[in-house]
Structures are given as structure tokens and as C-alpha cells.
Amino acid sequence: MKLCLVVDDSKVIRKVARRILEELNFEIEEAVDGQDALDACDRNLPDVVLLDWNMPVMDGLEFLKAIRAKDGIEQPVVVFCTTENDMSHIRTAIEAGANEYIMKPFDREIIEAKFTQVGLI
Amino acid sequence: MKNQDFEFLAGLLKDKSGLMLTPDKVYLLESRLTPLARKRGLDTLDALVMKLRTSRDDSLIKDVTEAMTTNESFFFRDNTPFDIFKNHVLPAMEKARTTKRLRIWCAAASTGQEPYSLAILLKEQWAKWQNWNIEIVGTDICTQVLEKAKAGAYSQFEVQRGLPIQMLIKYFKQEGDVWRINDDIKNMVKYRPFNLLDSFGMLGSFDVIYCRNVLIYFDQPTKKDVLERMSNTLAKDGTLFLGAAETVLGITDTLRPVRGQRGMYVPSGGNAEELMGLK
Ligand SMILES: C[S@@+](CC[C@H](N)C(=O)[O-])C[C@H]1O[C@@H](n2cnc3c(N)ncnc32)[C@H](O)[C@@H]1O
């Protein structure tokens, strides 16, 4: 079973994502911001991170840059999942090393399509 | 709905578009035609049926036919038929077509995602193809979906089903809520209304045909007729792609599946496997 770290400051979003991803056979861990996510990665490196952008403490982009800067780890696939839906945010995310990008609102179909594209399903 | 009204509508639709409706689909008639009746200033579906029975209103018949089509589509649907196109069909055609001419037909193009997916794959290796004469023809019975296809404008939801983000960045522009496909991709596809029940004569012959997720709506004799006429318009070393729930098996032996390649069919006589390095 693949491990997916769901990073979002909204409990509701984490719950929805968890339900969809569990149905797709992922094991789920949750984090509430970028720093929390980095800590989670230190404890237990996930296969994939589903990553919100705007969060307190440390935002998604900062998390992405921090994790991509780490040497000697198996880099997880990172899929942004955010309400930021303009081209400049998308470009910024991809240039910083995101593998895919989901614009909220999302549903099961979009998650499944995007996770298939990056080869996780 | 009265039984004889159902029979009447089912007969009309079968005749006009090949759509086969079984009595368990009455709800579909009701949910799709009631709004149309209202739009036409008719109070009920019964009134619409009455109008259809008593007058030969071609524009009403057309609206009814179009309203009953199912137009769902998405970019790179099912992936495999597009992987095969990229990895096997294109390299084979590159070698085989010394005329540098390639004709591709999307026979149920709907809102354009399928022909545009193929155009994008060609664009991704444009150095190879820029001196070629490549035609991608997208046809559909439903003029309304073709308008959308021509506009090449998709919602946020639509561009997230099947389209990799890199391709969204490369080939689309954002216009408010809408994502519009770039002109150089748009200009690679020509759309025109066409009913698969009509003669293919005017279309010419094709190297590749995508006819996906439309035969499922037809009965067996109609499937056979369409497939056999398609095999006549397909080059001897051409390829036909059908939808995941469709096949030629048990319907016609003018075409055969290619082993191990889901959704891929070739003329029965040919040696596609050898040409395409699939042995
Ligand atoms: C479900 S869509 C398939 C779209 C695309 N090929 C795909 O697989 O994603 C089916 C399309 O077939 C079209 N169609 C139905 N009957 C047809 C006919 N007799 N001739 C041409 N197109 C037809 C419908 O209008 C509809 O847009």
C-alpha cells in the first residue's frame, strides 16, 4: 500500500481527501501545514504528498522547496491541491518541482485522473 | 409515458442516429426531452410527441436527436489508445507514408478532447511532422458539441480530467473561468457535422480512425454496418481505435483486434504487428 500525506489546514478537506484516497487504496497520514508536513516526512517518508498552498506557519510552496532541497531521500511525488487556479501559480509550482496540480474544487474523478497520470495508480 | 409514444420515439431515434433505446431508458427520454419541449413552448413531453407525430418538423427532429446524444468525453481518455498512437502508430506511419501525408478521423469527436489529444501528441514531436500534410478530421452528429469543439474552450473541471498539467501549461491559455486551447493546436483539427449512418464516400480514406464510445449506443446490425464501411475507408495498414466497452469480435471479420493492445483494431488481412513492432 502506498502512503499519501495529505497536507491541508482545513479539517474538512483532509477528511474528504482521505476518504477518496482510502478508496483508491492509499494509506493516509495528515498534516496541517508545511512545517507539520516536513516533520511527518522526517518520521515516515510518504510516496506522495497532496499539498495545499495557503496554510499558516509554512505554506505549500515553502514545503515543496524544502523537501526538494533535501539530499539523500527518495523524493516523494508532490501533487498540489489548491484554490489558486491561475497560470502563474501553476507555473511556479511546477518549476519548484511539483509533479501535478489540482485546482479546487476537486472530486474523486480528478484525484484518480491526476494520480494515474503520475503513475501512482 | 405511453407505450406507443415510447415506441414512436425509439423508432425515430433509431432511424435518425442509430440510437437504440430499451424500455428501461424511458427516464432518459423524459429527463432530456422535457426541457426541450419547454424550450419549444410546449407544455409537456406528450405535446412534443404529438407535434413530432403530426408535423414533419425537421428542426424539431434534429433537436430531439441531438438532445438524446451522450457527449461525455475527456482528454487522453483511457490513455492506452493514445500511448499506442504515440509509440506504435506514429513511428509506423512515419516510415510507411513516403508521401508525408497522414489522415486521421475522429468519428465521434464530441466536444473535441479526443482530436485535440492527438494533435497535442503530434505537436510534442513536431520536428518530425512539421513538413507533413496532416489532417485531423473531427465529426459528430451533434452540431452543438462541435461548436464547443471549435471554440476549444473548456472548464476547469474538464481540463483536469486526463490532461497532464504540463500540457495545460504548454497548450492552453486562461481566459477568466475558461481554459482555451492554443490556436496552433486548434488549427490542426477540422470539424464538421456528420452522421455515421450516412455514406462515408465524401470523407476519403484514412490512416487512423478513432471511433470511440459511440458504437455502444447502436444495435448489432448498425455496428456491423458502420464497422464494415469503416474498414473500407481505412488504409490497409491503418488502425482503428474503439472504446473500452466496444469490439469487432462477433460483429465483423473485416477487422481484427491486435493482441495485447487494448482498443486497437486493424484490417484482417494486414500485418500491423510487424509494421508497428508489436511482435
Ligand atoms: C460519448 S461521446 C464519445 C466522445 C469521444 N469519442 C470519447 O470517446 O471520449 C459519443 C458521441 O457520439 C455522437 N454520436 C451519436 N450517434 C452518432 C451518429 N449516428 N453519428 C455521429 N455521431 C454520433 C454523439 O453526439 C456523441 O458526441
Residue B2 buriedness (CB in 10 A; 0-12 / 13-18 / 19+):
exposed
What per-residue confidence (pLDDT) applies to B152? 98
Cα separation, A110 vs A106, in Å, equals: 6
The answer to whether B169 contacts A100, with C-beta atoms less than 8 Å apart, is no
Whether B142 lines ligand 1, by a CB cut-off of 6 Å, is: yes
Return per-residue pLDDT of chain B as tens, 279 residues. Answer: 889 999 999 999 999 999 999 999 999 999 999 999 999 999 999 999 999 999 889 999 999 999 999 999 999 999 999 999 999 999 999 999 999 999 999 999 999 999 999 999 999 999 999 999 999 999 999 999 999 999 999 999 999 999 999 999 999 999 999 999 999 999 999 999 999 999 999 999 999 999 999 999 999 999 999 999 999 999 999 999 999 999 999 999 999 999 999 999 999 988 888 888 887
Q: A116 vs chain B: nearest CA distance in angstroms?
A: 9
DSSP H or E run through B224 = helix B220-233
Whether B222 lines ligand 1, by a CB cut-off of 6 Å, is: no
Residue B277 buriedness (CB in 10 A; 0-12 / 13-18 / 19+):
exposed
Q: What amino acid is encoded at B149 in this protein? A: A
Whether B110 lines ligand 1, by a CB cut-off of 6 Å, is: yes
A94 → closest Cβ in B161, B162, B166:
B166
What per-residue confidence (pLDDT) applies to B72? 97
Kindly list the structural domains of chain A, giving each domain's residue range(s) and its CATH number in brackets, ordered by start.
2-107 (3.40.50.2300)
3-state helix/strand/coil string of chain A: CEEEEEECCCHHHHHHHHHHHHHCCEEEEEECCHHHHHHHHHHCCCCEEEECCCCCCCCHHHHHHHHHCCCCCCCCEEEEEECCCCHHHHHHHHHCCCCEEEECCCCHHHHHHHHHHCCCC
Contacts of A110 in chain B (CB under 8 A): 157, 160-161
Return per-residue pLDDT of chain A as tens, 121 residues. Answer: 999 999 999 999 999 999 999 999 999 999 999 999 999 999 999 999 999 999 999 999 999 999 999 999 999 999 999 999 999 999 999 999 999 999 999 999 999 999 998 999 8
What per-residue confidence (pLDDT) applies to A45? 97
Kindly list the structural domains of chain B, giving each domain's residue range(s) and its CATH number in brackets, ordered by start.
3-69 (1.10.155.10), 80-275 (3.40.50.150)
Q: How far is CA B63 from CA B17, B36, B80, B153, B275, in A?
A: 12, 8, 34, 23, 44
A94 → closest Cβ in B161, B162, B165:
B165
